């Protein structure tokens, strides 16, 4: 497959995303190919670890390739998207619970579907150009691919802030928020990958780590706690509107671009997911309830139209006044009955 290069390199399985011209956006077939490789290497005693990287300087993976989702959705064929998300989430769950080290090198943009590919492994390496984000509310989705798990576990109310504003995280910010583990200067990455291919253990990554450049989230955390710990979207927006400071104005401007329904559901998801017993399965199942309905009842198709198709950047969101009824949130996140995400059907055990 020209979009991805999968091979055995000595005792290390290698997965390289090879769509730099498309910022390595992950397609459905790429997800299936990665899953097949992980399944094969899991039971191969000669493979001790997996390395995931990507070609190009601009992005590890800037998201999912959503063109086919839009095309099928506009034909009122919602089954393609529902199957796509179910299969993608199965890959996310397998990566999270993988019994061997999974080492990802996250240069440039790592967003949306790229977070699902690169941020569930055991060793997540960031560098000078890394920018990680969950921008789904901007296209009428919610943070998914297991991203809600990391947002729910982020310190304080960082998760609500990152999920509703789509703020981009530098390397230091990503480590603080739990989306990455180790900062290593990017000029050292090729040599480290060569050593891993030769059988070196992931310990070499810790030995190569350096202090990160300063991020901004740590300095903003008191403001985030003040504004983003509200139980509802209304509460958060009211708090921001009553603050004339620069942080509040910037956050409010970001949120005003995003789908109100998506933001309200994101906040409710994070409240439901908080707690020490949270699992990847719980997060993915809740995400799937939203994405299963996103085309028919949410703002997804309108979000893609405005951002990708017509590129007018003027989406006509539901609840444009940001007054999202609680019942609308409940409907998007209600159990799906027989259509609930069933990860156990694919041989995935409890994480």
Active-site residue list = 64, 113, 136, 144
Work out whether strand 12-17 and strand 49-54 pair parallel, antiparallel, or are unpaired: parallel
Q: How many whole angstroms from its chain centre is CA 83? A: 18
How many whole angstroms separate alpha carbon 91 and alpha carbon 238? 38
Work out whether strand 109-111 and strand 102-106 pair parallel, antiparallel, or are unpaired: unpaired
Task: Output the CA angle 325-329-331, nearest 5 degrees.
Answer: 110
How many whole angstroms separate alpha carbon 336 and alpha carbon 11? 42
How many whole angstroms separate alpha carbon 158 and alpha carbon 96? 21
How many angstroms separate the Cα of 276 from the Cα of each of 116, 157, 286?
21, 15, 17
Burial class (CB in 10 A: 0-12, 13-18, 19+), 274: exposed
267 within 8 A of 148, measured Cβ to Cβ? no
What crossing angle do the helices spanning 233-241 and 246-256 adopt, rounded to 10°? 140
The single-letter DSSP state of residue 134 is -
The single-letter DSSP state of residue 204 is H
The single-letter DSSP state of residue 139 is G
């Amino acid at each position: 497959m020209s979009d991805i290069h999968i091979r055995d390199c000595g005792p290390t399985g290698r997965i390289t995303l090879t769509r730099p011209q498309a910022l390595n956006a992950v397609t459905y077939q790429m997800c299936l190919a990665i899953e097949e490789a992980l399944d094969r290497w899991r039971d191969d005693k000669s493979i001790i670890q997996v390395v995931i990287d990507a070609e190009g300087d601009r992005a590890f993976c800037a998201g999912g390739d959503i063109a086919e989702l839009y095309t099928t959705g506009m034909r009122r064929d919602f089954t393609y998207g529902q199957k796509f998300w179910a299969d993608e989430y199965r890959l996310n769950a397998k990566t999270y619970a993988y019994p061997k080290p999974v080492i990802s090198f996250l240069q440039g943009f790592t967003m949306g579907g790229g977070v699902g590919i690169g941020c569930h492994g055991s060793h997540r390496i960031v560098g000078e150009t890394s920018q990680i984000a969950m921008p789904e509310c901007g296209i009428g989705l919610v943070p998914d691919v297991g991203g809600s798990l990391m947002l729910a576990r982020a310190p304080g109310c960082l998760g609500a802030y990152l999920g509703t504003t789509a703020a981009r995280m530098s390397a230091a910010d990503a480590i603080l928020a739990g989306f990455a583990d180790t900062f290593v200067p990017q000029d050292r990455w090729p040599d480290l990958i060569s050593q891993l291919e030769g059988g070196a253990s992931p310990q070499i990554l810790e030995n190569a780590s350096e202090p990160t450049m300063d991020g901004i989230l740590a300095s903003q955390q008191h403001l985030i706690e003040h504004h983003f710990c509200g139980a509802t979207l209304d509460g958060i927006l009211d708090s921001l509107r009553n603050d004339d400071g620069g942080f509040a104005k910037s956050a409010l401007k970001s949120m005003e671009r995003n789908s109100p329904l998506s933001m309200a559901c994101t906040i409710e998801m994070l409240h439901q997911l908080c707690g020490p017993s949270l699992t990847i399965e719980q997060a993915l199942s809740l995400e799937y309830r939203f994405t299963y309905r996103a085309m028919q009842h949410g703002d997804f198709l309108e979000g893609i139209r405005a951002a990708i198709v017509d590129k007018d950047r003027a989406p006509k969101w539901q609840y444009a006044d940001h007054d999202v009824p609680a019942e609308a949130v409940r409907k998007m996140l209600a159990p799906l009955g027989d259509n609930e995400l069933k990860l156990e059907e694919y041989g995935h055990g409890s994480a």
